[in-house]
Chains A and B, each alone.
Chain A
């Protein structure tokens, strides 16, 4: 079932988008560039899947959107993180740290420690 796999991915995507937007308000295109750039090509995000994620964050009230003029003077939809979004991001980052920490510990266990 592809759904299960994407759930994990989607969750991660949400967090990445929130984190990126926490730096500065940005449009969808810029966001996809930025994530690509930061992750240094590790994540192969399908750019289109960003938009459902943004819509979901918006519905949850974690981000807002606004039409503005882009750097090259085109009308673009800019997303901005809300206070609720920042709170959520903080929680998710902590959670992420806990999970990855746990996973790391398991992966680095040596036979002697068992």
Chain B
């Protein structure tokens, strides 16, 4: 009852403000009138009665204030007042307010955009794994004992081996499939889901059904696919009758059985998959999965849902028993098998990748937070200066009796308002930035559907960030300006000459911090640019100016045996050669830095060497590619000894190889000459073939720019099944038209064979410089942003201090100082300030660049050009930022300045 009444009282005080004030007025008036009446009765004159009544009552306004204080809503009323006042102040100087809001919006926008990425990588919930009953299973069955995916047969054994689970499901790597629609072939991201995954993650289809257990088994049921909710809406126009229709994936007809629930975008963090096929279907439409019955082929990411009441420890021990059984039963593949069982909510991508996610996210966030700090300190500096020039107003208000707390609250409200307006705009900026980042073209043969959303978490982040920004930029200036020395400040004509040294020191610290951050970011940017330049001009041992490539999987068009594949590819090759500008066309299982066939290697040893256990280096695994005879010519790789391959009949098993110089050196020592004619044993021990070396070619970099002279072995391309074949065409002129030519020719030859990827070799090589480019773009964007802010801040400080020193300058000039002396005086001030920033910035830059050394190439981490270049740049900026205020000071008329005050 009491509480209720008290609440009602406060509510009235807050929302019926006018009535409450009127009543208070009336009550006081009544009191005073009564008092006057009594005094008159006591025989006073009316004036005296009046005066005595008021004296007895005390100051009316003060009583009102005290009474208001007791209404318990003081804080809120003040807040409203502060807000109105703040708004008025901001509107009074629209230029400054706009600048401040834009700076905050950029800072918060960049930070929020970056956070939206980090959020989706680290924090955003994954569909269906919020229950503690959902777990993931990894095998530690690797040499390094780290948790990785399981094989499909192991998945089956694990799911059948215990009865602790209501469901267990498996997915695989995301794969780009070619989807043939009326508009032509498109590459879409697909995933492979076993039937058990749906109940395991409680994914309930929006339309139709999910997969049946039978559909996990190749060849048992028809080929089936599920469409994600978004794709169903966007690609299929929300067709209500889509279930039962047929789509063409990788040229293969598949039947749509269902549409996923809204919000379900696949199980891979940060990446959106659009179509999901069953395991049985996968092995039909993508030959990579034809080998899923191999226990050594670990392609499965396993999710399980434990029965209610089953603890993860129980699941762990039961699965451990199954794993031990498997290790015994299949020692070839599963020797020493043990499992890592984790709650699904503790895993993002997988345990190994998760370890890289945190530093990556940290790196991204540090960059933007630094920029935000620059923005904040910049604004804080401006506010400090503004506070100095508003000193008079503030002094007057303090003299009139505004409390210090109230004043600080007032100033803070002003800045919090700035922060909030900037924050709201910042969210708009962030949304734009995030979509720009998401559409950033990664040099892969398909578009990555990155899933960066501005969700509730991100919004909350932005809101907190903007309020904190407001407080951060406002707190120090507010505190500083709320304690002026009343008498001096009021007496001072300009209201500025009593500026405390402290606020200047603070302002200078801000500037130094900004310069430091900008320098660190810019040094990083220049280092990456230099690394980019180095990698771009690297000689990888092959040519790229006249080449274009296309990746095709002819098995998808039904050419799945060696002979028909080879015949089809040869026809394709001939079609390409009919164009006069095409000089040569070669086929290969892989090309340098290619996605397809990447990292394939084969054991190679000399016939006279017997492999002893523990001396595997005698039988090294060597990178290899199978290539057609004109590969070396098309790629511009020189044959230095012997000759290239002759043409082999499709499906034959030639016993010749070509080695590169590095391999020849590795096997036979420095002289490559004797290599030709030598024989080698290639393949796994026990199943090796004897081959003859017929040629030695120059080294070409296939894997990493850091390993330019890696030993390499070429074997003849005979159409023997390699998942994807890469065609390389060489032209006399520009290769720009070639990718389209590849597509056209293939479409006219057989439209059911999709081209995964067709681009010029230069475009393809973009992947080599991808990290450099991304980092350089990121760092230079933010670095330049920080630099601009720092120079504005610097200019502002110097200009302001010159305006404060007007009188001093006047006196100096009157005493005979020349213009150049005045200019030097001002310049010196700026330079002194910046030198500290440059020294600290370079020192921190040196530490940071050591952390980046693994990503950089061809540039020392203490690269003098980067460090000195950036330092000189900043020096020049300082001179510029100080020069104009200096010039203005020099142009002062000493007589006028002295008279002014």
| B5 nearest CB neighbor, chain A only | A61
Given contacts A28-B31, A47-B31, contact A59 B66 (CB under 8 A): no
A82 to B23, CA, bound (A): 21
Within 8 A of B (CB), among A1-55: 27-29, 32, 46-49, 51-53, 55
In the complex, which residues of chain A have a beta carbon less than 8 angstroms from the beta carbon of B3?
61
**Cβ B5 vs Cβ A55 within 8 A:** no
| A88 nearest CB neighbor, chain B only | B2
With beta carbons under 8 angstroms apart, the residue of A32, A47, A51, A53 that contacts B27 is A51
B72 at the interface (CB under 8 A from A): yes
Least Cβ distance of A20 to chain B in Å?
15
**Cβ B28 vs Cβ A61 within 8 A:** no
With beta carbons under 8 angstroms apart, the residue of B2, B31, B34, B69 that contacts A60 is B2
A47 to B60, CA, bound (A): 11
In the complex, which residues of chain B have a beta carbon less than 8 angstroms from the beta carbon of A83?
1
In the complex, which residues of chain A have a beta carbon less than 8 angstroms from the beta carbon of B2?
60-62, 82, 84
A82 to B71, CA, bound (A): 18
Within 8 A of A (CB), among B36-67: 56-60, 62-63, 66-67
A105 at the interface (CB under 8 A from B): no
A49 to B34, CA, bound (A): 17
Within 8 A of B (CB), among A54-78: 55-56, 58-62, 64, 67, 70, 74-77
| B30 nearest CB neighbor, chain A only | A76
Within 8 A of A (CB), among B1-41: 1-3, 5-6, 9-10, 23-24, 26-28, 30-31, 33-35
Given contacts A47-B57, A48-B63, A49-B66, contact A55 B35 (CB under 8 A): no
In the complex, which residues of chain A have a beta carbon less than 8 angstroms from the beta carbon of B23?
67, 77
In the complex, which residues of chain A have a beta carbon less than 8 angstroms from the beta carbon of B27?
27-28, 51, 76-77
A56 to B23, CA, bound (A): 16
In the complex, which residues of chain B have a beta carbon less than 8 angstroms from the beta carbon of A59?
6, 9-10, 70-72
In the complex, which residues of chain B have a beta carbon less than 8 angstroms from the beta carbon of A84?
1-2
5 A-B residue pairs with Cβ-Cβ distance under 8 Å, sorted by A, are A47-B57, A48-B58, A58-B9, A64-B5, A77-B30
**Cβ A47 vs Cβ B58 within 8 A:** yes
Q: Which residues of A are in contact with B by a Cβ distance under 8 Å? A: 27-29, 32, 46-49, 51-53, 55-56, 58-62, 64, 67, 70, 74-77, 82-84
In the complex, which residues of chain B have a beta carbon less than 8 angstroms from the beta carbon of A70?
30
**Cβ A75 vs Cβ B30 within 8 A:** yes
A95 to B40, CA, bound (A): 41
A51 to B59, CA, bound (A): 12
Interface of B is mostly: helix
A29 to B6, CA, bound (A): 24
A28 to B9, CA, bound (A): 18
In the complex, which residues of chain B have a beta carbon less than 8 angstroms from the beta carbon of A77?
23, 26-27, 30
**Cβ A51 vs Cβ B35 within 8 A:** no
With beta carbons under 8 angstroms apart, the residue of A27, A52, A64 that contacts B66 is A52
A83 to B1, CA, bound (A): 10
**Cβ B5 vs Cβ A52 within 8 A:** no
A49 to B57, CA, bound (A): 8
A70 to B6, CA, bound (A): 26
Least Cβ distance of A58 to chain B in Å?
6
Given contacts A46-B57, A77-B23, contact A29 B30 (CB under 8 A): yes
**Cβ A49 vs Cβ B9 within 8 A:** no
Nearest 8 A/B pairs, CB to CB = A48-B58, A61-B2, A55-B70, A52-B66, A48-B63, A48-B57, A56-B70, A61-B5
| A53 nearest CB neighbor, chain B only | B70
With beta carbons under 8 angstroms apart, the residue of A46, A75, A76, A82 that contacts B58 is A46
A47 to B34, CA, bound (A): 12
**Cβ A48 vs Cβ B59 within 8 A:** yes
**Cβ A27 vs Cβ B30 within 8 A:** yes
In the complex, which residues of chain A have a beta carbon less than 8 angstroms from the beta carbon of B63?
48-49, 51-52
**Cβ B67 vs Cβ A61 within 8 A:** no
In the complex, which residues of chain A have a beta carbon less than 8 angstroms from the beta carbon of B28?
51
| B63 nearest CB neighbor, chain A only | A48
| A51 nearest CB neighbor, chain B only | B67
| B62 nearest CB neighbor, chain A only | A48
| A44 nearest CB neighbor, chain B only | B56
| A27 nearest CB neighbor, chain B only | B30
Least Cβ distance of A26 to chain B in Å?
12
Least Cβ distance of A113 to chain B in Å?
44
Least Cβ distance of A9 to chain B in Å?
13
Least Cβ distance of A35 to chain B in Å?
13
A75 to B2, CA, bound (A): 27
In the complex, which residues of chain A have a beta carbon less than 8 angstroms from the beta carbon of B31?
28-29, 32, 47
Least Cβ distance of A61 to chain B in Å?
4
Given contacts A52-B69, A55-B67, contact A29 B34 (CB under 8 A): yes
0/1 string, B166-185, CB within 8 A of A gives 1: 00000000000000000000
Least Cβ distance of A33 to chain B in Å?
8
A89 to B53, CA, bound (A): 30
| B7 nearest CB neighbor, chain A only | A61
Given contacts A67-B23, A74-B33, 6 further A-B contacts (CB under 8 A): A47-B35, A47-B57, A48-B58, A51-B67, A56-B70, A75-B30
| A60 nearest CB neighbor, chain B only | B6
In the complex, which residues of chain B have a beta carbon less than 8 angstroms from the beta carbon of A62?
2
Within 8 A of A (CB), among B181-202: none
In the complex, which residues of chain B have a beta carbon less than 8 angstroms from the beta carbon of A58?
9
**Cβ B30 vs Cβ A55 within 8 A:** no
| A28 nearest CB neighbor, chain B only | B31
Least Cβ distance of A11 to chain B in Å?
14
